Structure formats: structure tokens, C-alpha cells
Amino acid sequence: MRENRSRGFTLVELLSVIAVLAILGSLLIASISSVRSMAESAECTSNLRNIGMGLRLYSQENDSKLPTSGNYNTVPGVGTGLSWMMALYEFMEQRFPDMNENNILLCPAALDTYPNGNARRTYGMNAAGTGGNIAINPDTFLNPASTVLIMDTAHMSGGDGYYAFGAGSFDAYADWRHDEALNVLFVDGHVESINKADEATLKEYVLNYQNR
């Protein structure tokens, strides 16, 4: 009587299975990374839109002017020397966020580009032609749909990004943290993603801030 013997896998077959699993694993990791990047960019876009709405409300209550980009803002009952972000938060009557606290000033992708994964405020305001101390009226721009107001900025210190940039510093302060792209809030309130390859276009949009 013949014995039934189960045939085991050969070494070649085992190596083939391992290779296929490795390929599938790498594809899954790449897919998860891509989905994560898209989700972070979408949250960043939402942040910028909310910032835009907050700044528009601020201007409506402050003689049609936005807060200055630099530390020149005065908020009644609070004090002077406030940046645009602190002035906006005081206007909204909200506590300024702590490190890594979810809020509209924190782009989640900055947790990967800022040192030690620490971030608090990750956006900067365009100060081209203003010196950072001039409060401007967003309704006076000739090209609001192609004029940068806020964008993703690189780490400055202590978990904070550069809060202002100008014609000569935008390229150094830009943080291309969304797969070699950054998100931009324009004066008219819409948000766009700009690829690093289109840095010349970004410069044009930054310089439009002077065309008032």
C-alpha cells in the first residue's frame, strides 16, 4: 500500500512567495503614505480657508484693514506688539494654542518637517512692500485672486514657523512640505497648492502684494 506524503514547498517557491509579499507590502506602504499626505494637505487647506475667513471678519471690524504681518498690532484690552496670528486669536477670543495642539495655525505636515516633530504655528503672512508694519485693506488689491496672503512657512525656532515673509525672503522661508508643494491662501480667500517647480509663479504672486 502506497503512503500518502504531502509535498512541501521548495526553497525557490518559498523565496518567490517572500518576494511577492515584499512587493505587496511596499505597495501598501506607498499607498498609505500617499493617502496620509493627501489628508494632511486637505487639512492644511481647510486651515488656510478658516484663517482667511477669520482675517476677513477681523478687517470688517477694524476699518477694513487686516492685522499687520509683523509685531505691530494693538488689541484693545490686551496690549501691543502682537503678530497677525496673536491679533487674530485675540479677535476670535480664543486661547493661543500650545505646541502640537490641533488648531488652524498648525499644518499637520509640518510635524514631519519641523525639528523633533514639534510645531505650533506654521504659516506666514506676506509682507512684501509693507515692512511688516502696515495694516492693509484687502479690497484695495488690483489682483486679489493672484496675490499671496498666507502660505506654508519653514521652521524658525521653538516649533514656530516664519510668521512673515517678503520679496527677498519668501523662497528661503517657504516650506514645500506637501510632496514638494505648498499651500497658499490668496487675498480673495481661495486656496491653491503650488509645486516647487513653479517657484517663479509663487514669486509673482508674492510680489503682487505691492500692487495696490
**Cell numbers at residue 26, please?**
511596499
Q: List, for residues 18-53, the tens digit of each pLDDT value.
A: 777 777 666 666 565 667 788 999 999 999 999 999
Q: Could you state, in order of their start, the residue ranges of all structural domains in the chain?
A: 12-210
Task: Name the nearest CA neighbour of 107 among 33, 185, 31, 42.
Answer: 42
pLDDT tens sequence across 73-117 = 887 777 788 899 999 999 999 999 999 999 999 999 999 999 999
At 204, which amino acid appears? E
Three cell numbers at 4? 500518502
3 burial via Cβ count (<10 Å: 0-12, 13-18, 19+): exposed
Query: Residue 151: which H helix or E strand, with range?
Result: strand 148-152
**Chain center to CA of 125:** 12
Contact indicator for 55, 64 with CB cutoff of 8 Å: no
